[in-house]
Structure 1
């Protein structure tokens, strides 16, 4: 029985958020195809992870027998998040672009789960786990666009999720999500709609593939 770890970080709720809409479609498909599976869901807006503190950080490289009570309490919160990630057979993350980067709530989660010698290092405990990131953005940062170099979401998450945690990472990228709201982007609405439709199709397809993989 496989476990999906689903994380959302968009500030907008439900269908008002492009990333939440696409991750919801992925999750629905996963559950339809894999009814005996388990879903661990974390909404980092409704229930934010505390930003890393000195106690939480230093506890990671302090022997448990030598930790202060404050370090032990802080690390216990980190360890719950790490164990959720380690238990997951697949990971789904909604990561909208805010001011060219990921939401601070998602950064806080990453700071908690990244632990050298366990989830990071020569043999990460999460090595090879499939991960799908829905990286929505208001504009387009694709190669050849004027703001190509301003995408600090995919390159950062590749460095952390793939190169450090060892996840088998894929991106689904709904873009130009501001087109229906920004009059200056009205001519881009057809491109936005095509991108949105493609994102939903990719989410459903990948969810089916992973569900079938773990059902086999």
Structure 2
């Protein structure tokens, strides 16, 4: 059984999404020692921002007339799609940036969909998939920024509704409470959210390995 892991933090050395993904992966590997983990890190090795545009244009270009750049973009899209379809389980660690989906993660999604073509619907049908997502502030009901998280609903839509994966979502908020003086009053709640997310990651890792 193989696990595909994707990270999207732009600050991996201090990343809270990386921490949770590491915990989950450790639990998965403890249950399945020696099983392969295929990794891709969009934060440290971002995809070309124009690759999706080029790949899409290539779809409308006769095969014999495609440029080297178009062939490269199509090959990249196919490779990204295969990483998902070849895996038995999927782990995605995706932080919230600027209230939405980061450009480098959106590029990945667009290229996967370009590589899958009409097979994008159901690409991960019933495949065990865990999304780890973290937010620096609080966006829950009744908070000043309720509704400002434009990332998590999108991720659920793509992974759950379009790709049709067997999706588990682990969320952690208030990750900036320890360093932002304006959030000092939220430190205890933030610590509780941290503990809850770590427990959820451990449980999800064991569950993912058992499926």
TM-score for both structures, normalised by structure 2: 0.91
Counterparts in 2 of 1:130 and 1:63: CA distance versus 1, 3 Å: farther
| Partner SS state of residue 108, structure 1 | helix
Match of 2:112 in 1: 113
Match of 1:55 in 2: 54
How much has 1:211 moved relative to structure 2? 0.8
Counterparts in 2 of 1:28 and 1:50: CA distance versus 1, 3 Å: same
Q: Is structure 2 residue 30 aligned with structure 1 residue 29?
A: no
Q: Is the 8 A contact 2:138 2:173 kept in 1?
A: yes
Match of 2:77 in 1: 78
The whole-number CA distance in structure 2 between the counterparts of 1:186 and 1:105 is 31
Aligned length: 208
- 168-177 vs 51-60, which moves further: 51-60
How much has 1:53 moved relative to structure 2? 4.1
1:144-179 deviation digits (Å, cap 9, x = unpaired): 322111011111111211111222222111110110
1:65-93 deviation digits (Å, cap 9, x = unpaired): 66443322210111111100111111111
What is the CA RMSD across the aligned residues, in angstroms?
1.7
Q: Is structure 2 residue 77 aligned with structure 1 residue 103?
A: no
1:159 pairs, out of 157, 170, 181, with: 157
Counterparts in 2 of 1:33 and 1:67: CA distance versus 1, 3 Å: same
Q: Is structure 2 residue 208 aligned with structure 1 residue 206?
A: no
Match of 1:168 in 2: 166
Match of 1:88 in 2: 87
Unaligned runs of 5+ in 2: none
How much has 1:33 moved relative to structure 2? 1.0
| Partner SS state of residue 91, structure 2 | strand
Q: Is the 8 A contact 2:58 2:74 kept in 1?
A: yes
Q: Is structure 2 residue 116 aligned with structure 1 residue 137?
A: no
Match of 2:38 in 1: 40
Unaligned runs of 5+ in 1: none
- 103-112 vs 46-55, which moves further: 46-55
| Partner SS state of residue 138, structure 1 | coil
